[in-house]
A and B are shown apart, each in its own frame.
Chain A
């Protein structure tokens, strides 16, 4: 079994940033860096007595793509919302970059399943939003937004409203909006779950392509095991009782077939 850092390096290596084991320890220790590390310590997530998840122990290495798979109702979204800081843990703690998560931050951008765009803002103004919030000058944010709109393949659609776009195009906009502010982590909540198979495959390719340019940590939630195997450095399997296994995604078809069976077993 390869180490977390090696599998993370498998992706980031292509972009030029190699995260080796020693440096990873530094970053987890809170020294900062490009990708954000997460650590959940005996975290209880959910409301009141009927906590959706209890005593969650999970580590996410900086720069890796961790895909969380689980059946519906297993608390995948809850886990993601907790990492985003939208849902404070009822017990235990959540650390991001060594610091306790107390609320949402621009460091941890989120991509929602659908309808996360502000419908009264055009594509460009949606993508510009994080920069506007940060007080970036108008010309600068227009340039950056345009660059990302082109990167996600929406050149020519900058002035469209979200309702004038298809579901896949709207998710492209969300992706651009999440990445334009160069966050240290991107949290994706079944972003392709509502798309047809063909569009989903395209979006997955686009995501892999775009992620090569960033060293941000990615936590990606899905119920689709194939999607997990395609995108992940590591896969976390979520069952009714919490995180059941965290598995490295190996190279090679046979090894992947074995892993797929292992995941389906854990589910």
Chain B
């Protein structure tokens, strides 16, 4: 038979997108591999299916033509609201910084003792100075190497362990009691053990980081495996697939959405632990440098360290978020937010 006969009769795949539009959008996207996320391709047809509010031609998501005008009007009002909200959001951080500046410049002592804290100017000056030293980058690199090593190992081991305990009853019987016994111990409480166990501080810190990230990844993987619909596994098995095929073609891709949740949490606690461990036993690293600044009464240096840690944490979390979105592009998403 010729041509997709279902197209005119069957329900469209999603609100506001008839199959033909989807077809155009997808093939266009595929024909333009250079187009990354966020780079709008002005003349391409794919603008119609995906941009929603800025493309009135499309008639809005699923809206019959008659109501399109009304929707546009209400969008105008909503637009004003949105501008206001963005204004408030943009002002919130400078306002807090301004408050800090007022309190520290005035050496305020309102039970909380702001007179000991540096002003914005002092912090900026210190930050500028630090950015020109190679030590700053050495610390940064050291912390990044530690976290990426510990977190990377935890991701691999956590996913493997999570799958193992969820898919094999025997492995679950052996490992689950162990995991449940160790899990409640905060990784940072393992610092003495790490110092005793490992020949160098470096390995100890990586070990702490690993332990911190390992459990969230394992637990989320285990739950993701158990939440997999059985129909996918059955489909692969009735097509001749073995357990190995099920693992590679169903389990691993199917658990990714859940696993990335665990990786995000794991990255967060990994940072907490790497910084704490560096403060206790490091010789380099952002955490060590921040604590060191405190002990030599370099308070602007402490704030510079804090900001650095915050930026690093945000960057690594954003990286995971981005990779996660890429890897789970097949998930249904809200209208207008295509991968």
Residues of chain A whose beta carbon lies under 8 Å from any beta carbon of chain B: 84-86, 103-106, 108-110, 112, 115-121, 129-130, 133-134, 151-157, 159-161, 163-169, 172, 177-178, 181, 187, 195-196, 198-199, 202, 206, 209
Contact = CB atoms under 8 A, between A and B. Distances in A.
Given A110-B238, A157-B23, A166-B19, A133 B11 contact: no
B1 interface: yes
Interface in B1-51: 1-7, 9-14, 19, 22-23, 26-27, 30
Contact of B9 (A105, A120, A159, A199): A199
A86 B12 CA distance: 33
Contact of A153 (B5, B14, B240): B5
Nearest to B241: A133
B58 to A, nearest CB: 16
B235 A153 contact: no
B27 A159 contact: yes
A135 B111 CA distance: 74
B324 to A, nearest CB: 13
13 contacts: A86-B234, A105-B238, A109-B239, A112-B235, A130-B239, A133-B241, A134-B240, A153-B1, A156-B4, A160-B22, A166-B19, A169-B4, A172-B6
Interface of B: 1-7, 9-14, 19, 22-23, 26-27, 30, 229, 231-232, 234-241, 245, 249-250, 253-254, 328, 330-332
B332 A106 contact: no
B250 A109 contact: no
B3 A155 contact: yes
Nearest to A87: B234
Given A120-B253, A159-B26, A209-B1, A166 B234 contact: no
A117 B10 CA distance: 18
A106 B9 contact: no
Nearest to A134: B240
Contacts of A129: 236, 239, 249
Closest 7 CB pairs between A and B? A106-B240, A166-B10, A110-B238, A120-B330, A130-B239, A168-B6, A104-B237
Contact of B239 (A133, A155, A163, A167): A133
Contacts of A116: 231-232, 234-235
B22 A202 contact: no
B46 to A, nearest CB: 13
Contacts of B239: 106, 109, 129-130, 133, 177-178, 181
In this complex, the member of B6, B241, B332 whose beta carbon has the largest number of chain A beta carbons within 10 angstroms is B6
A133 B6 contact: no
Contacts of A172: 6
Contacts of A199: 6, 9-10
A108 B332 CA distance: 31
Contacts of B240: 104-106, 130, 133-134, 181
A202 B240 CA distance: 29
B2 A153 contact: yes
Contact of B6 (A86, A121, A153, A209): A153
Contacts of B27: 159
A118 B235 contact: yes
B16 to A, nearest CB: 13
A164 B26 contact: yes
A163 B330 contact: yes
B249 A163 contact: no
A156 B236 contact: no
B221 to A, nearest CB: 17
B13 A165 contact: yes
A159 B6 CA distance: 17
B13 A164 contact: yes
A200 to B, nearest CB: 10
A169 B22 contact: no
A156 B43 CA distance: 22
